[in-house]
Amino acid sequence: MSLREYDRKRRFDSTPEPRSEDSAVDGGRPIFVVQLHHASRRHYDFRLQVGDTLKSWACPKGPSYDPNVKRLAVEVEDHPISYAKFQGDIPADAYGGGHVDTFDSGVWSTPYDPEAQLEKGHLRFELFGTRLKGSWHLVRSGKAARQPQWFLMHDKDAYASDVEADDLLDARMIASTKAAAGRSGGAKEVAATLDKRKRKKVPVAGHRATRAAELAAAAEGARKGRPSAEFFKPELARLRENPPAGEQWLHEVKWDGYRILATVFKGNVELWSRNALSWTDKIPDIRQAVESLGLDSARLDGELIALDAQGQSDFNALQKTLSGEANAPLAYMLFDVPYLEGRDLSATPLHARKAILQALLEDAPAHLSYSSHVVGNGAQVFAMASAQKLEGILSKRVDSGYRAGRGDDWLKIKRVESDEFAVVGYTAPKGGRHGFGALLLARPASDGGWHFIGQVGSGFSHAQLRDLSRTLATGGSSKPSVRNPQDAPRAVKWIEPTAVAEVNYRGIGNQGLLRQPSLKAMRPDKTPADLRDSDRAAPTPAPAPAKGRAARRKASAPEPGGVTLTHPERVVYPAEGYTKQDVADYYRAVMDWFLPGVLNRPTSVIRFPDGIDKPSFFQKHIPSGGLKHVGSVKLKEETGAAAVYLYPESAESVMELVQYGTLEFHPWGAKVDTPDLADRVVFDLDPGPDVGWERVVAAARLVRKLLADLGLQSFLRTTGGKGLHVVVPLNPPSDWATVKQFAQGFASALAGTHPLEFVAVSTKSVRNRKIFVDYLRNGRGATAVASYSLRGRPGAPVAVPLRWDELGRISSGAQFDIRSAPARLKRLRNDPWAGIDEVGQSLENVIGKLGGD
């Protein structure tokens, strides 16, 4: 419903309710509000911000924490955002006449698209208020009614109890209910019971920290300390190119988010950014999660991240959630505890502090996670993080204490080359762009000034362009604010450095300027002054261009089908010496086997233009300049917007993508002419640490058997990595919702039946010694590596289809490589996946066997 319906029902010359045109979205996180409304019939108004309006339901009896209770919620017209602050009396003769109290308010989140869920009729969400907390559901009734009817239910989580909304009324709300008795239907009966009703408190998601406190008291180096609610300075890391070797180092994932420090004093939680700004009110979900630990005093250190629908970390989703553009769940990845329950642990060795932290987080709320680590094997850990496209790793001395400031005990090794720079100016917009064209960037100079390093004009969202045009790229001067203005473009506006931008780039060019910079994020948690405490050495300019004979060696090499291969001598796999020419030769050699798996399928590619030891690029859309031989199709994305996707439509398509540095091909499980129908289901068996290959083999055989029990034939593929793919063809195809429901149900059933072997969630802290059954590749837009695709990993491994009877002879998921895979194909008499497209099977009769919802 639009706000026109809201306006139509009200006479604003008599009602104090806010007008819709006076409502504005403040840019914060999506809010909720529940109002106790003494109208003709007493009820609770339940409202959730979705976009720029409050979706609203009238709930006669109010929310209940009892998961077995379904509360009727009648959908009413959308309300303006400003209605969340409304309290008072609506005239008796006006629409909704009666008194309105605010029962509760706060922020809310959901891992999925809220509008899509509402349209489907089932919204899953979390509330972070004072009275209402935990996980909830809104489910639309199938009953025909003048106004759509829904049911509001609490989930079976740590907050579940017998508490009702009326149990949580304060004195003011009780007085309002009594005053309304006789005027409001139902209020008289409720008012008569309020004095007799036993007062109850908001349920507490309790957690006992006894074991962690005992470990802290007995820890080496622990001493009595005075608790405090004040900010404490964090330990910082230095940047290094390579991870350190040896067992004296442990290695953690470098989480891509915001550093958050938590203090607990007399049970009260305060949250801080790394530069001492209070974030307590910005992230009430994290505050509540820390409160649930039941601590009296503590200091915690970690990273705030956002999770996408697949449970993966997403920095863009984090920024959008904090600004109100998205509504992703947040998680606090904890990696240190320098103080706990009266004990100062700053002198306690890191390995002991982490053991205490792990004990503290056992059975902790989902919003708190333990950042696990690996001792030793730094190079392998970094290679694994790079293969998984993570930002990098943090390497820390096992026996080090917790020391404020930057030192050599903590090192960070980044996969993507990026850095933070001060914004010192901007250029004028061009074409159809508004506000500014690019931001001018600088890094600290040795004399205390600023040194111009380049400009960034790509990577900005529409909201960022709008906001920065209003707040940053305004005014300015022709007087330079840097030491080397001659390196900057002409006709720019210079400003004093007040903001910090984090930028991805591909090295430093001959002029000492960033190459191919793209905005990663604006960093409101940092100031230009922070950049003088640098964690990295100055970037090294690129070498001068080759001349003479060296340049002639880079002459273009012709390829069949009109595709020209440039720089064929460029080394792609440094350890093995394989070149771009070797990559092209490989794909030509396997083309007849490779092409059917990607032909006419939307395909994401991973490009390694400078080799696998340099930054890679994930690409699924056709570049603005277009490609000559690669197909393009306009497809609707989850946001509702349309984008042009690429897809191979011939051997020339593949070779053109290879020319542009592509190593890996990841197709959809659908064709471009039927993008909403899936003809493949892929189960990725991803072993966690300490899982032997024999267990992966046994897992694949078990999955095959269970699928066969459901009447489904499956096929097998190595991934070129650690695991195996079990692939189920569908003919006729199924819609994505059905496929995802089946894949999730199968994985969950497998994990529930074999909890010591399998896990069906992607949270890394629960995947040790288990096999993750990754079903998340089975959604619209999700991809899986193609058969015979190279992988951008050391050794040039290849994803290879197998016959099931070959599995016992395979020693790893990366057994075949750029040399052995073509040799294998020459020996094969028959395709291991022969007949996969002719298998007639569907999911129509399978969902019920898994108990789909």
Residues belonging to the active site: 254
Beta-carbon contacts of 24 under 8 Å, excluding residues fewer than 6 positions away, are: 81, 82
Encoded amino acid at 777, one letter = R
Encoded amino acid at 80, one letter = P
715 has which bridge partners? 727
Beta-carbon contacts of 783 under 8 Å, excluding residues fewer than 6 positions away, are: 603, 604, 666, 667, 668, 777
Question: How far is the C-alpha of 252 from the C-alpha of 354, rounded, in Å?
Answer: 11
Question: How far is the C-alpha of 587 from the C-alpha of 695, rounded, in Å?
Answer: 32
Name which of 34, 111, 7 is nearest 762 in CA terms.
111
Give one DSSP letter per residue of 136-155, joined into a string.
Answer: EEEEE--S--SS-EEEEEE-
Contact between 494 and 425 under an 8 Å Cβ cutoff? The reply is yes
How far from 142 is each of 120, 150, 161, 202, 619, CA to CA, in Å? 12, 9, 27, 32, 42
Beta-carbon contacts of 213 under 8 Å, excluding residues fewer than 6 positions away, are: 340, 341, 343
Provide the token pair at 631. Answer: 């197909």
Name which of 403, 408, 402 is nearest 394 in CA terms.
408
Provide the token pair at 131. Answer: 């009275």
Question: How far is the C-alpha of 258 from the C-alpha of 266, rounded, in Å?
Answer: 26
Could you identify the residue written with the tokens 């993570």? 390
Contact between 446 and 413 under an 8 Å Cβ cutoff? The reply is no
Pairing between β-strand 758-759 and β-strand 771-774 as defined by DSSP bridges: parallel
Give one DSSP letter per residue of 740-795, joined into a string.
Answer: HHHHHHHHHHHHHHSTTTEE-S--GGG-TTSEEEE-TT-STT---PPTT-B-SSTT
Question: How far is the C-alpha of 26 from the C-alpha of 34, rounded, in Å?
Answer: 19
Question: How far is the C-alpha of 781 from the C-alpha of 519, rounded, in Å?
Answer: 24
Could you identify the residue written with the tokens 């080496």? 220
Give residue 819's Cα distance to chain centre: 36
Residue 851: DSSP 8-state: T
Name which of 519, 536, 499 is nearest 236 in CA terms.
536
Name which of 703, 804, 710 is nearest 757 in CA terms.
703
Question: How far is the C-alpha of 359 from the C-alpha of 63, rounded, in Å?
Answer: 34
Task: Output b/e per residue, 451-484; b: 16+ Cβ within 10 A.
Answer: bbbbbbbeebeeebbebbbeebbeebeeebbbee
Contact between 280 and 269 under an 8 Å Cβ cutoff? The reply is yes
Give residue 637's Cα distance to chain centre: 17
How far from 572 is each of 581, 633, 705, CA to CA, in Å? 9, 30, 40
Provide the token pair at 374. Answer: 């690996």
Provide the token pair at 91. Answer: 């005239």
Contact between 379 and 356 under an 8 Å Cβ cutoff? The reply is no
Question: How far is the C-alpha of 102 from the C-alpha of 36, rounded, in Å?
Answer: 6
Give residue 265's Cα distance to chain centre: 31
How far from 648 is each of 426, 589, 622, 671, CA to CA, in Å? 40, 17, 11, 11
Give residue 545's Cα distance to chain centre: 39
Cis amide leading into 732 (omega within 30): yes
299 has which bridge partners? 263, 339
